[in-house]
Every structure is written in structure tokens, then in C-alpha cells.
Structure 1
Amino acid sequence: MSATDTRPLLDGIRVLDLASVGPAVRASRWLADWGADVVKVGPVPKDAGVQIAPPAYAYSAHRGMRRVLLDLKSDGGRDAFLRLAATADVVVESFRPGVVDRLGIGYDALRAVNPGIVVCSTTGFGQTGPRSNWAGHDINYLAVGGYLHCTGRDERGGPALPGATVADSAGGGLHAVAAICAALAARAATGEGTHLDVSIADGVLSLMSLAVDEYLADGTEPGPRHGLLTGRYAWYDLYEASDGGWLAVGAIEPHFFANLCRGLGCDRWIGHQYDEDAVDEMRAHFAAAFATRTRDEWVALLGPANTCVTAVLDVPELLADEQYRARGAFTEVVHPTAGTIAQVAAPLAGQVDAATMDVRDQAVPQTDEVLTDAGLGVDELAALRAEGAIA
């Protein structure tokens, strides 16, 4: 894509989103952010007069998406979905294994109406294996993938919870997006679609591959303070400044480590980066040095000096951070009920402008609009609505 081409990256790609939980919902949000036409497929409410809308901030209010309500357990609702699938490129679903097949909208049924369809099934443990039907959430996938064990310890001495949904976002959502984009690239060459089996727990394992591969290679057991990237050495750790603020230090490369030592006035440690006998003393010296200035003073001194030192920011601080602002990491959109609200902008900032996206009222579906686009006529829509198959 050239610098003058403003087309969204996934312009022309239509996605049907059956997802109801975090990872797959995040995947669809990213696909919409990149320009795909994402249609969320929800159930017909039992009380047609009641529509429950998510809060304005939920998954960025499903910005850039349309919404259709279908009763997939009815013949009419299933047939309407198959009509939609015939016009789609991707289907994202997060039901437990076997559910879409029982509904008559599994991969084989979709492939029959659209051989090029890419179906992405995103579940906690995948479509196969002894845990494939287990319920779970972010904490569970981080637990079985070794992430919690290696991250750190809380005040009780047990594994500490991370401050973000790492499994849902990186283990599930991003892996789903990568798999979908790869499948679309393959389809461009072959014309054939595929069924993608994305396991969130498998995704967490891939995030842990550096630690796991080290253990497989030489038996080094990962854990807090055990490995290079979990605080074993003083030059990859967190330090408190004089004002109570915290700094993150990641001076892995020898030249960055040497710069850090000079900046802290700890030149004596240059040349002793991996000296196992000096780890505790070096850490104590670094801690004492960092305690002599405020967090922001250290950032101003060490940040530009190639030391791999940054501030630990809280959310209000990162919203005002000049780097994020310069990157266009935040945007404002007009929400139909909440008014103008700020949101985290689409990834690949500069490629897609979230401010131009349509943030619709989630209590008002676009069922007729979407199904009309798929070729259903006025009489068909009226009949489906009369039988309760659509809303």
C-alpha cells in the first residue's frame, strides 16, 4: 500500500461475527478496525421489546460493525445465515466444539454454499483434546500455559494476576487475526477456504515458547527470577525512584548495560553483566542509585541515552504520554447514546482512522439492511420476522 492510498487494509472483506466472548470479539474488532465489513450476528431476544446494549466502552462499542439478529435454531434463521455466508469471506465463532454443526452452520455446511469461506473457531482449549469442552476465561488459559507461574508472586506468595487480558488479546484475538489473514492470503492463490481451529491456551503456550524452549534445550526451569526476562539479573528489573514512582530497566545488550551503569554512576559493574556472584550486590547498588532521583528525572536522563529505561505509567499518565499522542494512539468517536467519547485507536495507527468509523446504537439492529444486501426481498423478510426467525 502506498503512502497516498487511503483504502483500509481489509477493504472488501466481509466478516460474519458469531462471537460472544472476549478473544473472538477482539479479533472481529481488529478486523473491523482494518476496514473489513463486520456483521455481528446475535440471537433474537425472547422479548422483542427488550434490547440490552453493552456499555459505550465495551470492545470500543463494536465500532465499524453492523448487527443482525437471527434465531439460528429455527429453519428460517439458519437459512438466512447461510444466505449471508454465501456473500461472506470470513465467519468467526466462539461456541463450544460441535455447537455450530448441530445448528447446521458448521464448516461443511458453509463450504457447501461458499467454497472460499474462511471459518475461524476460537475457543479456550481448541476443538480437540480432553479439555476441549471445558469452560474457562483469561486466568485459566494463563494458568495452564505456564504464564502465571513465571510472571511473579503476589503478597500471598502465589502467582500474580497480570494487569491486562493477555490470553484473550494476545493468545486468542491476535492469533485468530493472524490466522484469518494468512488464510485469506492462501485463498487468493488457491480459491479455497479453510477451517481454523484457534485455541487460546495454545496461543498462550506460543507466548511462552522462549521459556519452554529453553527448558526443553537445557532443563532450565522457568519461573520468577529464574530467567533473563523474569528478573534474574539486576539489569532486567523494576526499581523505585525517590518519589515513589517506578522505572522499568531492560538493558540486555552489553552496550546498553554499559550505558546504564555509567548513567547510574555504577561503572564498576561494566564487564560483570552476567556475574552470578554479583547479582544481589549489583541489584542493591542499582536500587540505591535509582532512589536518588525522581522517576521523571531518571527518564529524562536515561531514556535518550540508550539504556532501555522507561517509566512505569498508570492509565491516566499513558493517556497524556507524548509518544502515544504523537502516534495517534487515541481517537474520539461520536456514540449514538453516550455522545463524543475517547477510545484507543485502531492498531496500525496512520492506516485507519477510527474517527471515520460508524459507532452504531447496539440496541438497534440493522437486520433488514444486512439481509437485503445478501439478496433477501421484502416479502422474505416479512415472513422471517412473522415466524420469529429475525428481529
Structure 2
Amino acid sequence: MTPALEGVRVLDLATVGPAARASRILADYGASVTKVGAVPRAGGVQITPPFYAYSGNRGMTRALFDLKSADGRNAFLGLVAEADVVIESFRPGVADRLGIGYAALREANPAIILCSTSGYGQDGPRRDWAGHDINYLATSGFLDCSGRQADGRPALPGATVADIAAGGMQAAMAIMAALLRRERGEQNRQGEHTRQGEHPRQGEHIDVSIADGAFTMMSLYVDEYLATGNEPGPGHYILTGRYACYDTYRCADGRYVSVGAIEPRFWANLCELIGLPQFASQQTEDDAQDEIRNALAAKFVTEDRDHWVQLLGPADTCVAPVNTVAEAVEDPHTTARALVVDAVSETDGPFRQSAPGWAGTVPPDGAYEVAAADSTDTESLLASAGLDAHEIERMLDEGVIA
């Protein structure tokens, strides 16, 4: 099977965060991704954790430019001329000041798709604010609707939800949609008269805001508030712990099970198997929740976690183990679904890493190949783009590329 994005060329100016996650998704779908970084400075410390470079940069090439120099910038634009997509995560306005904003990229390649990822978007009162995952979850209402710590503070999620879902996945989907739109636009123009000077394929500038994506994730809550005026909060919904049928419980060995028995038939199955049939008809009675929750807690703590998982998991009760990361990696279901794969580094040899878990990706015939974190492909990439070998050598000597 041919990878869905085979032949799509992506230049990624981001090193970490949602933009880097987006380029990894595109690479996992078969795009040719080049990680674009800055030329190392004398005396500077270059820190690239191997575990991040392995997973983030697998199947990618790497090029280094001094974008503050005219030669370095022009060399980068030479790659843009041959590319389909550029991803950047500078603060709004920085790319323009560097001379690599959308206008400059479009001049080099009218068909280019530029995806700008930022915390709060390219406009709006917070456009220049610095931020991270916690901030975007906070402004969207997500944190306020999460559980509470012992002192009443909003609980923090166990992963960078906004970076992954609201940022990286949003950017990847937007880029793939833009590629499809460009392709359809080209097909629609076939046979039509093209205005003088108009390129047959037209790109676009995508504005991805992580905060916007986080707000969109809250649509169920937002729509209820807009429709009724009721303001959601922690434990407001069945899916956020309002009822005992949707919670976690401690077991005898100190580990936990997750219970998500929302549907009445699953809840009835759970009550019967755990020996609490009297609560089957009280699933959503608010006044009974403390009693039910305490009874469930008292039952689950009598046996180890795996006992309950083996008894309840296959029995239509919506019960599953709360795994540690180590347990998740070694879980038989993880193995069966090939979610951990073999990889090989040209410097450190074979190892294992998380697989592309996205539906429709095409795995390689063997192990995933990962280049050394400090390797570069700048020379070969520029040569492929048509730059003269002597010019490339001169820029290497002058330190504007590496």
C-alpha cells in the first residue's frame, strides 16, 4: 500500500510542541519532512534528548540555516520553491521580520501552504502572549471543569492535551485539508483560462491557534451554557465524575481500576458481578451517589486490581485497568495492536519506540530508521533544489548553512 502523503514535501521550522507533533503525524503518513534548524553558534550548547529525537525525527531529514543572513535565508527559500508545506511556530510577526513570512514564501512558491502554529493565534488581544499547555487549557474552561486537588485547585491532566489534540492534531488535519483543497482547485482550473501570471496551484496560510483548539474541545460544555445559561464545572456531567458509575477505584494492591459503566445495562452487569445488585436502579440518583461510591470503594479494595480486571473486563461492564506507562507498554493489547515497534539508530543501534498509532499509516518493511540527532542533510537537499555546488561550499565555509 502506498503511504497517503507520499510525495508531499514538508519543511518544519519547529523543534518541539504542537508544530513538531504535526510534522511527525505527516511523516507517519508518508510525507517527506525536513526539520529546519538554526546553525549552531560557537560556544552554544546543543541539547537534543535522544528519546525525543528518535520519536520526533524518525524518517526525517535535517537542514540548518542562519535565517538572519541573506544567504542563509535565500538558501532556505530555495527549498521552499520545491516544497508543498512549511510549518512554523514563531510568535506572530517573527517570520515576517526574518523575511520568511507568507508573502516571501509565496513569492518563492505560489503553491506553498504555510501553517503557522501559535498559542493564541495570529490576531486577537492575546496574540503576543507567551504560553504553554496549561495556559490554553485554562483559558478554554477545560481546567475549571477538571477535577479538584485536595486544596481546591484545578487538577492538571496527565499529558499535554492541548499540545497534542488542540494543536498538533489540528495542524495536521488543517494541512491535509489544505493539500486536498489545493489539489481540487488545480483540477477545477484544468481546461479553464488561467489569468496571466496566475500559478495553476494556489497555496494558503493556515492560522492554527492551540487555544482555539482547546476551546473547540469544550464544545459540549460551551453549547450547553449558550443554550441554557447553566455554567458547567467539575463533576457536572456523567463523563466528568458526577455519578459513581464513572470513576476510578483503589484496589487491595494499591493499584486502580477505571469504571465507565454509563449505559444502564453495563451498570447493571457491574452491580450484579460485584455483589451490589441493590444499586442497579439508582445509577443516576444524585442523593444516592455518596452511598454507591462508598460501597464500590469498599468492594474494590478487597481484591487486587488484576482480579477485578479479569472478572469484569470481558463481562460488558466498561472496566479497565489504570496502567502505569510501563504497564501500558507491556500490555498484551498494546502488543497485539503493534503500538510499540522496532527502530534502529545509526549511532545507538536497535531500540523500541511508540508506533504511529494513526489509522491508515503504512509501516516500513523493517525497523524504523532514525538518523543521528546531530546529522544534517543540508548539502544534499540544496543540491537537489538546484543550487550550485560551489555556492553550497561557500555558504558552508561562511557558516550560513551547516
Q: So what's the TM-score if we normalise by structure 1?
A: 0.94
Which residue does the alignment assign to 1:52?
A: 46
**Structure 1 position 356, deviation (Å):** 4.0
Deviations 1:60-112 (A, max 9, x none): 15111111111111111111111111111110000010111112211122122
Which residue does the alignment assign to 2:195?
A: none
2:47 paired with 1:21: no
Gap change, CA 1:24 and 1:252, over 3 Å in 2: same
Query: Pairwise mapping of residues 271-350 of structure 1 onto structure 2 (< 5 A)?
Result: 271-348=281-358
**Structure 1 position 358, deviation (Å):** 2.9
2:394 paired with 1:389: no
Which residue does the alignment assign to 1:228?
A: 238
8 Å contact kept, 1:53–1:363:
no
Which residue does the alignment assign to 1:83?
A: 78
1:72 alignment partner, one of 35, 46, 67:
67
8 Å contact kept, 2:9–2:85:
yes
Provide the C-alpha distance between the structure 2 equivalents of 1:280 and 1:53, rounded to a whole number of angstroms.
51
Deviations 1:264-298 (A, max 9, x none): 22222223322222222222222222223221111
1:129 alignment partner, one of 124, 127, 130:
124
Deviations 1:144-183 (A, max 9, x none): 1222222212233211221111111111111111111111
8 Å contact kept, 2:20–2:56:
no
Gap change, CA 1:51 and 1:375, over 3 Å in 2: farther
Which residue does the alignment assign to 1:197?
A: 207
Provide the C-alpha distance between the structure 1 equivalents of 2:13 and 2:137, rounded to a whole number of angstroms.
24
8 Å contact kept, 2:344–2:368:
no
Moved more, 361-370 or 345-354: 345-354
**Structure 1 position 46, deviation (Å):** 2.0
Query: Pairwise mapping of residues 134-283 of structure 1 onto structure 2 (< 5 A)?
Result: 134-191=129-186, 192-283=202-293
State the one-letter code of the partner of 2:217: L
8 Å contact kept, 2:170–2:213:
yes
8 Å contact kept, 2:10–2:83:
yes
Provide the C-alpha distance between the structure 2 equivalents of 1:271 and 1:92, rounded to a whole number of angstroms.
53
Deviations 1:237-257 (A, max 9, x none): 111122221111111122222
State the one-letter code of the partner of 1:369: S
State the one-letter code of the partner of 2:123: T
Provide the C-alpha distance between the structure 2 equivalents of 1:148 and 1:131, rounded to a whole number of angstroms.
19
Moved more, 228-237 or 258-267: 258-267
Gap change, CA 1:154 and 1:122, over 3 Å in 2: same
8 Å contact kept, 1:223–1:230:
no
8 Å contact kept, 1:37–1:65:
yes
Provide the C-alpha distance between the structure 2 equivalents of 1:344 and 1:86, rounded to a whole number of angstroms.
33
Provide the C-alpha distance between the structure 1 equivalents of 2:45 and 2:104, rounded to a whole number of angstroms.
30
8 Å contact kept, 2:9–2:84:
yes
Provide the C-alpha distance between the structure 1 equivalents of 2:250 and 2:23, rounded to a whole number of angstroms.
39
State the one-letter code of the partner of 1:373: S
2:378 alignment partner, one of 348, 367, 374:
367
**Structure 1 position 121, deviation (Å):** 0.4
Local SS of the residue matching 2:266? helix
Local SS of the residue matching 1:149? coil
Count residues in correspondence: 385
Query: Pairwise mapping of residues 36-47 of structure 1 onto structure 2 (< 5 A)?
Result: 36-47=31-42
State the one-letter code of the partner of 1:260: L
8 Å contact kept, 1:24–1:122:
yes
2:352 paired with 1:357: no
Give % identity: 55
**Structure 1 position 131, deviation (Å):** 0.8
Structure 2: give runs of 5+ residues left out of the alignment. Answer: 187-201
Provide the C-alpha distance between the structure 2 equivalents of 1:229 and 1:254, rounded to a whole number of angstroms.
14
8 Å contact kept, 1:107–1:119:
yes
**Structure 1 position 308, deviation (Å):** 0.9
Query: Pairwise mapping of residues 93-132 of structure 1 onto structure 2 (< 5 A)?
Result: 93-132=88-127
Provide the C-alpha distance between the structure 2 equivalents of 1:243 and 1:359, rounded to a whole number of angstroms.
40
Local SS of the residue matching 1:300? helix
Q: So what's the TM-score if we normalise by structure 2?
A: 0.91
Deviations 1:306-325 (A, max 9, x none): 11111100011111101111
